[in-house]
Amino acid sequence: MCVQLNTLLILGLTVTGGACMFHNHHWGEWNDSQLQPTIQKLMKGYNRYLRPNFNEGPVEIGMSLDIASIDAISEINMDYTATIFLRQRWRDSRLVFPGNESVSLDGRLVSLLWIPDTFIPDSKRSFLHDVTVENRLIRIFSNGTVLYALRITATIACNMDLTKYPMDRQVCTLQLESWGYNLQDVVFYWTRGNDSVKGLDTLRLAQYSVESYYTTVTEAVYETGQYPKLVLHFALRRNVLFFILETYVPSVLLVVLSWVSFWISQSSVPARTCIGVTTVLTMTTLMMGARTSLPNANCFIKAIDVYLGICFTFIFGALLEYACAHFYTMEHQTVGDIKREIQREFNETNGNASLPIIRSTQPNQSVEISSTAEETSQQPVRKEANTPEGSKEKIADHECGLSSVKEAARRAAAVLTVENPHNIDRHARTLFPLVFLFVNILYWLYYLCL
């Protein structure tokens, strides 16, 4: 269509050779003293393959943007998709026409004019909207200024640092560069500095809010030369509230739930193991769920992973605490049982021999136990000297072996200061919440203030 129109116009010009015939026959309805010269100027001697000021200085191209929407900010692909109105304006002295009005041309007539070869270097995919016609606008002012606007949707790469996810702040850029014209031919500038970009303030994003933005003018350096480049930087702050509700509160509640076990009697094994195992499993599910929308190929540790890890450790610790407490209770009981049994045995056989064992049953005196152990080890010698009776000797030997085992167990227990296994629960009731609170303070200080 464009080519047809072009050839038609050029044919008309060359055949008739004048403006008189031109407007009388073909463009009768455009009988306007201001529009007619524009069309003439467009057609006559205009070479769209040559930039304005061809043998002079560079063309200055002013740009401004309207961000219509930012649809998808993807952490997995590390990009965002934006729909933008890109406006470029430059002065083409070949298009000057008398008067002070402007002419808006059909978008298809763009192919008759020289236009800048701007491109978006970081875009992965982009397209110009074409419903119902190609969304572009061209307007020529009488002083030769050309305004060229486009509506583009582009998916643009944005390198994200997710180590503080979800308390992170991402800085993305939108870059505009000239594809073929270097700095000697074309110069880019933002038409109104930082105000050249509109629409970011009123943007509503699902997970982010636009914190700040500014524009810069730089140059891109490639092997083939230096090219003009404009950059829009904008900082996105993630709304952490969603994650607080979705992940942080449930995991804190799970940790608190795991502490419930400390208030349940140690004898109710099913209740306490059930709480422990259930909380561990639920936490695992929560951890899996928190990872689904994130790139997990590169193994950096995100803030949310750290928090879930902390919660998991506490929940697992609560389960282990029960295992320990239960183990020591059993230990306590069995040692006590054995002592009581042996004592009963000795009471039946010989009243005197039970004396050292009674002393050894007294808790928290490992020194005395060791002395009784020496005593008992000396006893058989004395007994052997005095009354070499086989049965008594056997019992004494048996007691000697047991006492050394008891002593070892006692010492191990004394290291862990487990006098009463129920103390483990009592200590855990204050220790777990305090340590969790402390770790939380450190975590939030680190991730919110640093």
Ligand X SMILES: *[C@@H]1O[C@H](CO)[C@@H](O)[C@H](O)[C@H]1NC(C)=O
CB contact at 8 A, 311 and 252: yes
What residue type is 209 in one-letter code? S
Of positions 22, 80, 90, 141, contacts ligand X by CB under 6 A: 141
For ligand X, what does the binding mask look like between residues 383 and 422, x meaning CB under 6 A?
----------------------------------------
Positions 23 through 62 that interact with ligand X (CB under 6 A): 28, 31
For ligand X, what does the binding mask look like between residues 187 and 216, x meaning CB under 6 A?
------xx-------------------x--
Q: Dihedral of the CA atoms 326, 330, 335, 339 (nearest 10)?
A: 130
Residues in Cβ contact with 427 at an 8 Å cutoff, skipping those fewer than 6 apart: none
Q: Which is nearer to ligand X, 100 or 387 (CB)?
A: 100
Positions 63 through 122 that interact with ligand X (CB under 6 A): 91, 100
Tell me how far apart the alpha carbons of residues 227 and 342 are, in angstroms, rounded to a whole number.
Answer: 95
Instruction: Output the smallest distance, CB 140 to ligand X, in A.
Output: 10
Interface region with ligand X, contact rule CB under 6 A, candidates 80-88, 139-147, 253-261, 341-349: 139-147
Write out the two tokens for 334: 């069995």
Nearest residue to 103 via CA among 27, 42, 18: 42
Instruction: Output the smallest distance, CB 67 to ligand X, in A.
Output: 16
Neighbours of 95 (CB within 10 A): 21
What residue type is 162 in one-letter code? L
Question: Angle at the Cα of 147 (from 146 to 149), degrees rounded to 5?
Answer: 145
Instruction: Output the smallest distance, CB 286 to ligand X, in A.
Output: 40
For ligand X, what does the binding mask look like between residues 213 and 232, x meaning CB under 6 A?
-x------------------
Instruction: Output the smallest distance, CB 66 to ligand X, in A.
Output: 18
Instruction: Output the smallest distance, CB 26 to ligand X, in A.
Output: 11
Residues in contact with ligand X, counted by CB under 6 A, come to a total of 10
Helix (H) / strand (E) element for 211: namely strand 208-222
- Looking at 134-207, which runs of residues are DSSP E strands? 136-141, 145-157, 169-178, 186-190, 197-198
Q: Which is nearer to ligand X, 36 or 313 (CB)?
A: 36
Q: Check binding of 181 to ligand X (CB under 6 A).
A: no
Give the distance from CA 111 to its chain's centroid: 45
Tell me how long the chain is: 450
Q: Which residues bind ligand X (CB under 6 A)?
A: 28, 31, 91, 100, 141, 143, 145, 193-194, 214
